[in-house]
Amino acid sequence: MEVILLKKLEFDKITIKTKLYIMLILPISFILLAIIIDTPTNIVNGIFKIIVHPDILITDYIKVGGLGAALINSAILTLVNIYIIWKLKININGPVISAIFIIMGFAFFGKNIFNVWPIYIGGYIYSKYQKTNFKNVILITMFATALSPLVNEFAYGLNLPIPFGILLGISIGILVGFIIPPLSAHMIRVHDGYNLYNIGFAAGFIGTVIMSIMKSYGFIVENKVILSNEYDTLLKAFFTIFFLILIILGFLFNNRSFKGYKRLIGFTGRLITDFTQLTGFGLTLINMGLMGLIGILYVIIAGGIINGPVIGGLLTLAGFSSFGKHPKNSIPILIGVLIGNFLITKEVSTTILVITGLFGTSMAPIAGTYGYFVGILAGFIHLSVVMNVGYLHGGINLYNNGFSSGIVATILVPIIDAFKKED
């Protein structure tokens, strides 16, 4: 007889403090880079422009406020979130790394130091209302900043008197922050964990309802694509170095080896697959770095350049590589999107193609569970769906690909299941 008493162990040998330091590498690098390439006056003016500019998809903050301001905006948001994580004594696990990276990435196109906080206040009020610890909902709240553009749209987009508009925008943000924790937990059952950007799916529905109501009262959505193209080489070099640093750090933490990586790519990636716990922090960093490099390679193959939205795609890809994504389950999605681009007749801009692929890896668990062919099929379908669902929420849901992926996963998984002969 083998009796095992399992007492809850420490997370792993690497301390939370060390993990926090690693999380600080990129935001601090952003600050240093901003100081080198831009002047303080430009940065302050740029941040102001970012704050007052409407944020619906796709608004590249590098174009709106300049690279320096976009970097500082991202750094501030990331540092504040890391501070919250530290203050609430939350371990740096896969979901937390993903949340930090998604905020860091989307702070280049939609999330800024003004429009995210109402959602946090809403989450906090929800936790007090339900008499639970804010720690329990902080993760959902961080992801829920997908709907931050709502705050700006109500504040500046309705042509209301500015103070009233700002108050209304903040109130709507608080309301969204309040309702999203129960909604997101519920929506996860719809796709059974096959869409990693679950909040994008939930936020897509919320955004659709809100935008439908707004349109009923005469609100007109202005489709816009504001993109920068000046810093491609600099950003490629910067992020390549960062991803290489992640691989080197991971190698060192993993006893100076890549041992165990074969096991990591054996996981399907379906929610919840937390690599920090299943394989250790070192291998997780290796996977994140490697996936980041694959992301950059994909940008080059697709003929794209690195701008705000693509930074968002790369950092989200790397972040979720601590929580389900790896080369084996993500590359089929990328291939599917590229094949789709060749076969569809509608013209797709390179940036749209690039971010559709990068964010489309949200469906990596489908490829991980059902194989390469189904993964490629998912990516192929996703390209068509993602170009149409944006209309529903008018671009106020930043995780448009998460919404599309949720729809594709919800449809595709039961169909594949219907063709399986076993139970």
Partner 1 sequence: MKHEIKRISKILDELITFCFLHGTNNMNITLENHKDYFKIHLESDNIDCDDVRVQKLKEFLAYPRQSEVEEYYWELAGECDNDTELTLVGMMVDRAEVIFDGTSLSITLYRNK
Query: Of 324, 282, 323, 277, nearest to 11 (Cα)?
Result: 277
Beta bridge partners of 59: 226
Q: Which of 154, 274, 290, 360 binds partner 1 (CB under 8 A)?
A: 274
In the complex, least distance from residue 101 CB atom to partner 1, rounded to whole angstroms: 16
If the CB atoms of residues 8 and 256 are measured against partner 1, the closer one turns out to be 8
Q: Examine residue 15 and tell whether it contacts partner 1 (CB under 8 A).
A: no
Query: Of 187, 193, 83, nearest to 144 (Cα)?
Result: 187
If the CB atoms of residues 179 and 272 are measured against partner 1, the closer one turns out to be 272
CB 198 within 8 A of CB 188: yes
In the complex, least distance from residue 322 CB atom to partner 1, rounded to whole angstroms: 13
Question: Tokens for 92?
Answer: 């740096």
Question: Tokens for 217?
Answer: 């009262």
Query: Of 113, 101, 123, nearest to 77 (Cα)?
Result: 113
Q: Which of 43, 69, 140, 299 binds partner 1 (CB under 8 A)?
A: 140
Q: Which of 58, 116, 139, 211 binds partner 1 (CB under 8 A)?
A: 139
DSSP letter for each residue of 39-95: -HHHHHHHHHHHHHS---SSB-HHHHH-HHHHHHHHHHHHHHHHHHHHHTT----HH
Q: Which of 59, 73, 81, 93 binds partner 1 (CB under 8 A)?
A: 93
If the CB atoms of residues 192 and 232 are measured against partner 1, the closer one turns out to be 192
Beta bridge partners of 226: 59
CA distance 210 to 176: 10
Interacting span for partner 1 (CB under 8 A) from 64-72, 160-168, 187-195, 302-310: 187-195
Count, residues near partner 1 per rule CB under 8 A: 45
Q: Examine residue 410 and tell whether it contacts partner 1 (CB under 8 A).
A: no
If the CB atoms of residues 115 and 268 are measured against partner 1, the closer one turns out to be 268
Site map for partner 1, 361-380, x if CB under 8 A? --------x-----------
CB 358 within 8 A of CB 379: no
Q: Examine residue 232 and tell whether it contacts partner 1 (CB under 8 A).
A: no
In the complex, least distance from residue 173 CB atom to partner 1, rounded to whole angstroms: 20
Q: Which of 46, 65, 95, 177 binds partner 1 (CB under 8 A)?
A: 95
User: Up-side HSE of residue 309: CA atoms within 13 Å toward CB?
Assistant: 29
Question: How many of the other CB atoms lie within 10 Å of CB of 81?
Answer: 24
If the CB atoms of residues 82 and 137 are measured against partner 1, the closer one turns out to be 137
In the complex, least distance from residue 132 CB atom to partner 1, rounded to whole angstroms: 6
Q: Which of 73, 78, 184, 397 binds partner 1 (CB under 8 A)?
A: 184
CA distance 231 to 423: 53
In the complex, least distance from residue 6 CB atom to partner 1, rounded to whole angstroms: 4
If the CB atoms of residues 109 and 323 are measured against partner 1, the closer one turns out to be 323
- Residue numbers 278-307 binding partner 1 by CB under 8 A: 278
Residue 176, judged by CB atoms within 10 A of its CB (0-12, 13-18, 19+), counts as buried
CB 30 within 8 A of CB 77: no
If the CB atoms of residues 84 and 244 are measured against partner 1, the closer one turns out to be 84
Q: Which of 271, 306, 348, 363 binds partner 1 (CB under 8 A)?
A: 271
In the complex, least distance from residue 276 CB atom to partner 1, rounded to whole angstroms: 11
Binding region for partner 1 (CB under 8 A): 1-11, 90-91, 93, 95-96, 130, 132-133, 135-140, 181-182, 184-186, 188-189, 192-193, 198, 268, 270-274, 277-278, 369, 423
